[in-house]
Amino acid sequence: MRVIRTLIIACVVVLSCGPAYSAEHTLVMHHMELEEVTAPVRAGDVIIFDNRSDMTHNLYVIYSDGTVDNLDTQVPGMQRKLTLRVAGPAVIKCWIHPIIRLEMEIGSQDTPPAP
């Protein structure tokens, strides 16, 4: 009886989570530039920020609702992962180098990934 109850609870949890359409994308930093992500990104996707620059950066993402995700200091050769939280237009900037800026459109989480 305990096993059946555990299985039922597990099924309810899995089914209530909705479709899992998350993907992983890599965004590369070269010196003072951010390489654009070519594939469509959606809320729930993970961006890997790969610092291939010869300098330290501190990137942050400003979402359309005004919230911010800070990736903290990222020395050359370091990677950081961030799960995108809000659909809509977003801007990626560097606290250390204000000239660095990348705009991106984050799709809705319930939109299936592009083939």
Q: All domains of the chain, ordered by start, with CATH?
A: 22-107 (2.60.40.420)
How high is the pLDDT of residue 1?
60
Q: What burial letters (b/e) apply to 21-42, b meaning 16+ CB within 10 Å?
A: beeebebbbeeeebeebeeebb
pLDDT for position 112: 62
pLDDT at 7: 46
pLDDT of residue 71: 95
Residues of the chain with pLDDT under 70: 1-21, 111-115
How far is 53 from 39, CA to CA, in rounded Å? Answer: 22
